[in-house]
Structure 1
Amino acid sequence: MRALIFLEMKKYLQDRGLLFWMLILPIIFTVLFIAVLTSGTEATIREQIILSIVPGYTVMFVFFIMINMVETVLKDRNLGMTARIASTPLSPYLYLLGKWIPNMVIVFIQIFILLLFGKLVYNIPLEQPFHLLLLSVLLTFTVTGMGLGLAMLVKTNNMGIAFTQVVALGGGLLGGQMMPLDTMPAFMQTISKFLPQSWAHQAFQDAMAGTLSYMDLFQVSLVLFGFGLAGFMIALLRYPAFLKQAIG
């Protein structure tokens, strides 16, 4: 499994497109929307907008790692790598972990850099660093777990891109990353309660402001962990069918 993790990390570090999706694009969106939405506003309102946009776009853009996960898994399947690995003593569980862990590292680094950017450029508060660290780990677990499950379900890259856009952009809209939840219709606010983006975004905001209680942190942790675990279980259950499609 170590060799698989090392190979995946090496491929990711050489992928310049991944750098664009994970860091450059979210920073561009953050700067652009903060500049537009805070133009001519009072200092207090400006701080509230920044406190929403920085964690909001961080949460929204981490879900784009799912495209990369689908692409690498399907490429291995189509090139025969999956079939060759399946012929070794490596268990399906360890194979999936080998695909999962490198993406968790990449997403955690992404969250760290985007929050650091917000701190250095916009001086966002980080009042509860332990809470923020735990939320970052949990969000990483959630996103990559869901990405692994999606990679085992879809049959083509285009399907993976389409589903990722629905999850990332649709979840960003309904989860309050693109506009405040309290300005949305009641039925959309209800839907947001079933989305991990909404839970993560609100928790990050509260932790930055120093108002996230331990009870709320525990509740958010259960939700995010549940989504990630569900994604991994789907991947594990779908692996035999996925292996049958692999080229030997």
Structure 2
Amino acid sequence: MQDRGIWFWAIILPIIFTVLFISVFTSGLNETESRQVILSIVPGYTVMFVFFIMISMAESLLKDQKIGMVARIASTPLSNHFYLLGKWIPYMYIVFIQIVILLLFGKAVYDVPMEQPLLLMMLAIFLTFMVTGIGLALSVMVKTTNMGIALTQVIALGGALLGGLWVPVDMMPEFLQAVSRFMPQYWAHQGFQDAMAGTLKMADFMKVSLVLLGIGVAGFILALLRPKQ
């Protein structure tokens, strides 16, 4: 609550971008077309901006290293995975709250549908797990805050571009459409869109869930392979 940077990246900036881009891209469209644009932008920018939590995660671990906390913990019986869980779990709460706020904003302001609320809630949990898992791996690998910011921007913005968060996937060249399916942003966006519209089938939900959970687990394993410094 006291970190203004998290408030800016997690809530204020995504709301500004959502309002701005909906205003631009729905200008001159009829109601049906506008609803389709809104249904893409609201979950799309929610997915894109949750990745910026990785900056705060990297700063937190780098701060521990700078003040010697990591070195002191390394000399104790505390297992590496418990330390990493301690750095991971608080940010899960933050990201989950961020997703809920942004989706509720879309509902309150643009009346986006929430036809499958239970699946939406579960997808929010899986997205939270995936993003913070990647953030944990990034945090133990970067050496400076600037490096963390740069890599976060590459992952967040590059993934948003290739994953269809800015331009609908079916409007992209065939080569990029194939590439988009390797982006976690693509799977999260498709899952949220379909669940909001009420068209998410259980088989597709399971596929999206496994992708997001698998990437999150991979991030935690990569972080574990990095010894405490």
TM-score by length of 2: 0.98
From 92, 97, 107, the counterpart of 2:80: 92
Residues 56-67 of structure 1: pairs in structure 2 closer than 5 A = 56-67=44-55
What residue in structure 2 maps to residue 207 of structure 1?
195
Q: Distance in 2 between matches of 1:234 and 1:32?
A: 37
Deviations 1:118-161 (CA, angstroms, capped at 9, x unpaired): 00000000000111011000000000000000111111111111
- Specify the code of the residue in structure 1 equivalent to 2:210: L
Q: Distance in 2 between matches of 1:104 and 1:119?
A: 23
Deviations 1:135-190 (CA, angstroms, capped at 9, x unpaired): 00000000000000011111111111111101000000001111111111111111
Q: Distance in 2 between matches of 1:175 and 1:216?
A: 17
Q: Distance in 2 between matches of 1:162 and 1:184?
A: 26
Work out whether 1:36 is the aligned partner of 2:36. Answer: no
Q: Distance in 1 between matches of 2:79 and 2:60?
A: 19
What residue in structure 2 maps to residue 75 of structure 1?
63
SS in 1 for 2:61: helix
Q: Distance in 1 between matches of 2:102 and 2:108?
A: 10
Work out whether 1:146 is the aligned partner of 2:134. Answer: yes
Q: Distance in 1 between matches of 2:146 and 2:174?
A: 33
Work out whether 1:19 is the aligned partner of 2:7. Answer: yes
Work out whether 1:220 is the aligned partner of 2:212. Answer: no
From 179, 190, 205, the counterpart of 1:191: 179
CA RMSD for the aligned pairs?
0.8
What residue in structure 2 maps to residue 176 of structure 1?
164
Shift of 1:89: 3.0
What residue in structure 1 maps to residue 221 of structure 2?
233
Q: 4+ residue stretches of structure 1 with deviation over 4 A?
A: none
What residue in structure 2 maps to residue 5 of structure 1?
none
Q: Distance in 2 between matches of 1:226 and 1:191?
A: 18
Structure 2: state its 5+ residue gaps. Answer: none
SS in 1 for 2:77: coil
From 166, 169, 177, the counterpart of 2:154: 166
Q: Distance in 2 between matches of 1:129 and 1:199?
A: 18
Structure 1: state its 5+ residue gaps. Answer: 1-12
From 123, 130, 145, the counterpart of 1:135: 123
- Specify the code of the residue in structure 1 equivalent to 2:21: F
- Specify the code of the residue in structure 2 equivalent to 1:194: F
- Specify the code of the residue in structure 1 equivalent to 2:206: F
- Specify the code of the residue in structure 1 equivalent to 2:164: G
Shift of 1:85: 2.2
From 96, 102, 114, the counterpart of 1:108: 96
Greater mean alpha carbon deviation, residues 114-123 or residues 70-79: 70-79
SS in 1 for 2:155: helix
Q: Distance in 1 between matches of 2:44 and 2:64?
A: 33
TM-score by length of 1: 0.91
Equivalent pairs, count: 229
- Specify the code of the residue in structure 2 equivalent to 1:156: T
Greater mean alpha carbon deviation, residues 147-156 or residues 26-35: 147-156
- Specify the code of the residue in structure 2 equivalent to 1:75: K
